[in-house]
Amino acid sequence: MKKQLLLIGTMAVMLVSCNTQPAVNETCYNPTEVVSKADSLIDDTIWVSGTAKHVCCCSKKKLMLGDETDSTAAPLRVLAGGEIDTFSKSLVGEHVKIQGILRLNKITKESLESQLATLDSIIAATPKVEVKEEKGKNEGEKKGCNGGGTEKKRQGIAEKIQWLTDNNKEFIADYYLEAVKFSDCCKQKTETAETAEKKSCCSEK
């Protein structure tokens, strides 16, 4: 009898745990607040709102969310996930409210040195060719989606390694939001008081 009661109790606990979803923090943060409170929000499901500053041109799976009240603050990186497969380029410049899970990626000196070695191998194996600037309809447009090429990436990694060394730090805290979904009722942003024209922050044009 005791074994049967224990089995029933165990099954009940399993059913409850399977149906329990992580609690959502209903407070809506801006990107600056997220970074300042990051250590207490890691792995929490939260709401974040701001202005979409950039959408990755290749995969469209990364969005940079800027602070609407502080234009000098560094944007928060948001990665597509959950109900969001990709981000529309039309979101750039729009007010966006996203639910997501705050994650922490610890960038260590060892991982950076490994990346640097890989890039050095790529650079050494790449033939030196003269690159001619193309003219015409694409003139003035940025080419590629690698943020400036291998050399620029190498410089950025080297600077991070130097920063860790100079500041005697074990890692660089890289916070990002793993997206879950857009707000069900996105904030409508008034463009002008005269016309009261409004635009959805989540329109997938």
Give pLDDT tens digits for 104-160. 999 999 999 999 999 888 888 877 655 555 544 444 444 455 445 788 889 999 999
- In the numeric block, which tokens belong to residue 186? 């996105």
Per-residue model confidence (pLDDT) at position 1:
56
Contact 81, 179 (CB under 8 A): yes
Alpha helices in 50-136 (DSSP H): 109-125
Q: What φ, ψ does residue 182 adopt, rounded to 5°?
A: -80, 160
For 10-23, write each residue's pLDDT tens digit.
Answer: 554 444 444 445 57
Per-domain residue ranges for the chain?
Answer: 23-106+172-189
Q: What is the pTM of this model?
A: 0.68
Q: What is the CA radius of gyration of the chain?
A: 23
The fold of 23-106+172-189 is OB fold (Dihydrolipoamide Acetyltransferase, E2P) (2.40.50)
